[in-house]
A = this chain, B = another copy of it.
Amino acid sequence: MAITIYDVAREANVSMATVSRVVNGNQNVKPTTRKKVLDCIERLGYRPNAVARGLASKKTTTIGVIVPDISKNFYSELSRGIADVATMYEYNIILSNSDERTAREVELIEDHLGKQVDGLIFMSDSISDEVRAEMATANVPIVLAGTLDVEEQLATVNIDFEEAAYVAVSKLIENGHQRIVFVSGPFTKDINRISKRNGYVRALEDVGLVVDESLIVEVENTYDNAYEEWQQIRELAGKPTAIFAGSDIIAVGLLNGIRDEGLSVPENYELICFEHSILARVVRPQLTSIVVPLYDLGAVSMRLLTKLMNGEEVEQQQVILPFRLEERNSVK
């Protein structure tokens, strides 16, 4: 049996209320008794039971984080940002992987709410109606991190993905390209189907170029798939001369596909991608890419959540962070 607040109280000849005050840093305790209690706590090795505290106070100082797959760089970097700010505000994190399966997402939200988290940070490819309904039953604030809410009802933290795509594609257009392939990750992701795609289309239309749907190619977001798909992409009619890739990993797959047939980047194809993880820097040529501030996306999401949990007035629930284009050697 572990030491309880009651044991400490008896040992120190005070009431449990006083021990509670000392443990919680309440100032209404005489210094001498505070010291006496602290000594007993030390001596007995008392460790406050957060579960009991949670039940009594109705706050667990724990938040839930639901992520598609923590082993993917995108989410692990973002999570680190969340974690650091959570630590700063003394919250713990319950972390779960959803694999972007709606049923699992609903289950996890339910599960986390059952654990009485004080708030929730959610990431996914898109927000299904079921998830939206489940979120509506929550009595704690929820923030979407790096995740679009097409209905713009929920609190979110993102970059302007459409604008980023626009900037990337415009760069290629400036360099004289007219036939630019957009190799996108799955269109099940709103960010791909809507944001990046719209940015691509808008960039072309703004300079009077015709959008050729055959130049929009959807691939899995994996190295191997992108590598293989290159065989199809190179055969596209009208000889594309530049590529806008939806992620580092896709870009690297294409890059190696291109090089393995004896062609090169940027001589034969110029290439710009999204994310700028370490992958973009280790390959040669290094990849010109949109830098997504993953860590900051997480950090700001958590900061927003703390405000919401404190009931603070938040002017803008949809936060947009800046991005930039990192110019390396995959474009001339």
Contact = CB atoms under 8 A, between A and B. Distances in A.
A281 interface: yes
Contact of A83 (B47, B95, B282): B95
A224 B256 CA distance: 22
A110 to B, nearest CB: 7
A314 interface: no
B83 A92 contact: no
A79 interface: yes
20 contacts: A2-B139, A45-B137, A48-B114, A49-B116, A50-B114, A51-B51, A51-B116, A70-B70, A70-B80, A70-B83, A71-B73, A71-B77, A79-B95, A92-B96, A92-B112, A223-B278, A223-B281, A223-B282, A252-B282, A256-B284
Given A71-B77, A92-B94, 7 more contacts: A50-B115, A71-B73, A71-B76, A84-B97, A93-B94, A223-B278, A223-B282
Interface of A: 2, 45, 47-52, 54-55, 60, 62, 69-73, 76-77, 79-80, 83-84, 87, 92-97, 110-116, 137, 139, 223, 249, 252, 256, 259, 278-279, 281-284, 295
Nearest to A59: B51
Nearest to A252: B282
Given A60-B51, A93-B94, A223-B281, A73 B70 contact: no
A55 B51 contact: yes
Contacts of A48: 114
B96 A51 contact: no
B279 A259 contact: no
A295 B69 CA distance: 13
Among A52, A69, A70, residue most surrounded by chain B Cβ atoms (within 10 Å) = A70
B62 A71 contact: no
6 tightest A-B contacts by CB? A76-B76, A71-B80, A95-B95, A51-B54, A50-B115, A51-B116
A58 to B, nearest CB: 9
A76 B79 CA distance: 10
Given A50-B114, A50-B115, A283 B283 contact: yes
B279 A278 contact: yes
Contacts of A77: 71
Contacts of A281: 223
Contacts of A47: 110, 113-114
